[in-house]
Structure 1
Amino acid sequence: MSEERRLEVLRAIVEDYVTTREPVGSRMLTERHRLGVSPATIRNDMAALEEAGYIAQPYTSAGRVPTDAGYRLFVDRLAEVRPLNVPQKRAIETFLSEAVDLDDVLVRAGRLIAQLTGQVAVVQYPSLRRSGLRHLELVPVAPGRILVVVITDTGRVEQRFCELPVHPDGSGATVLEDASLGELRARFNAAAAGLRLADLPAAFDTLVESVGPELGHVARAVADLVVDTLAEETEERIVLAGTANLARSESTFELGLSPVLEALEEQVVLLGLLTEMSGDGVRVSIGHENRRDGLTETSVVTSGYGTDGDTVATLGSIGPTRMDYPGTMASVRAVARYLSRVLPS
């Protein structure tokens, strides 16, 4: 029974400290919470929690504040993810569904998380390495020139002009009839069906070999252009929103705000962090669990998102360890779910 009561005392300390930003004393716990025991018993429980490393006294005669270990125990054993209310759910779905393209929907997702949590939002672009080719379009724009449009199954769109090579018989630049262009388009889309982008080069090589001499040289030019385009665009990208929200928590960071801001400016740091925390479900990394420079005084809450049950990227919220964990976890989970719904399928 004493362990369960001490967990309730820890829950009360975490919730009060997050709300008031002030160290929590036994008198406050007695007045604000119905713990069903005497102040002396609460003090004994706090002493036991402190000895176990779950709470600490920031200075003499002060109340107690949760440690990283205390927050971890709270998240693992005590935190109850609060579902968003109906208006919040409707607002999220409406806001994301109004996006005009992938860039817009990811920016909107970042703004939503930052607004809901009052912290920094980070949204990773779907990785091309984990994407598939949804459609390849070939559009004639001039004699001897076509526009190649590559659309991935996660909504990324890349457009490149392709100068058609000279016909093998030496008769000059190739001019494609609509029927020939349609046949080539159909062949490419059939060859790419169900494949990840990394598997396309081999599939396209087979396609080029199967095309007759009239279209083989054009097929090779298109295949090379698509492969080169995807190779250029493999750099991972992220959306960052709500950095200014950290100013409200500046006093929380013992080392100051500068290390956190410097870490947020390093895209490679954030990408590494999101990669470490990638996967299904909501994940929480607290304080010194974040080994990245500048982020050891922050907590990171993430969730994967994707299409058809396949996680293609990660989004999350970054804030001080003194954060509303249940609320942040609920917000990140909700935006990830709605983002998965509105991604192209």
Structure 2
Amino acid sequence: MEGVKLNEVSMVLVLSTCTQLGALDHERWVHAYVERYKIRMMVTLGVALGDMYVEAKLHDESKLIQRCFDDSKDDDKGDDKKLKGKKCLYLESAIGGLAMNGFGQESLDLFYDIKREGVQPNGVTFISVLKGCNVVGLMEKGRKHFDSMMNVYGIDPRLKHYGLMVDMYSRAGHLEEALNFINSMPMKPMLVHGVLCFMLVECIKTKNSGELSKRNIVELEDKNDCAYVLKSMLPGCSVIEVDGEVHEFIVGDKSHPRYGEIELKLEEISKCLRLDGNVEKEDALSKHSEKVAIAFWLISLKGVPFRVVMNLRICWDCHNVAKLISKIFNKEIIVRDRNRFHHFKDGEYACKDYW
């Protein structure tokens, strides 16, 4: 690749790959490269960089939006409509990023900013808005925004919107309301199964599966394997970046060259959890790929927050273990699972255990 000059399209692809791997150092290098070689800040590149800042918590939302917008506005001097469109794209991107990081109220504030700009929200915008309501438990406000889709903006809710509403009711413990909402959905039964999964996950997480989940599992069509997939325990995978190199850990895999050191650190973690009176949490840690990633991080990085990317949603037990480790070892832990980011520090979770 020597002598080849990368353009804005190449940068978007590289940045997307780095983001998926959670390779923050590489992401910073990409932005530095863009600035050094004055690569044109097209909308998709600006949005990708904006997502990076939100996910890494490197800037608050207003600085994030202003920086991306300022970088790109020189390309469109005199075209107010195009400038306005770009800025709103960055705002929409930040709404989703903030919601994914657990900053629900901040994401809603940005949504109101978009409306003040005179921009009509679309279906994608409302996905981020409902996520924002979801992560902080704003059930009534979420219902209000959901209803406004059709009543105010003439937008037909899609399956994703219904799923977020069901998830919102379920997280708040309103399982019967979630079920009633599912029954009112104008979709074919085969499509409803994905939404029902949201509710079943919350039942399992809160130890409240009982007759409610059993009753609805049997009501699903024969082709629906959702409930059984939930129980099948897919192999977990955790990815961490250390000194510019990406390390992948899979459940049961002991092939890492430093696995001997990792095992010693795992024993130390288990001992600390036992001394803290958490034998049950110790058992939970021993079954998942996060344990190896956490141990490897502790022996490799000093004074650097733990950033890991997972292919599955973090379970309730591992969520509690992460809190305990952040307290016992005085570390900051950032976990990106398949749904969102989770931030742990000093034994506390940023969203007060509402996730």
Bin of the TM-score, shorter chain as denominator length: under 0.3
Q: State the TM-score, normalized to the length of structure 2.
A: 0.24
Higher strand share: 1
Higher helix share: 2
Higher RCO (CA < 8 A, seq sep 6+): 1
Q: State the TM-score, normalized to the length of structure 1.
A: 0.24
The structure having more radius of gyration, on CA atoms, is: 1
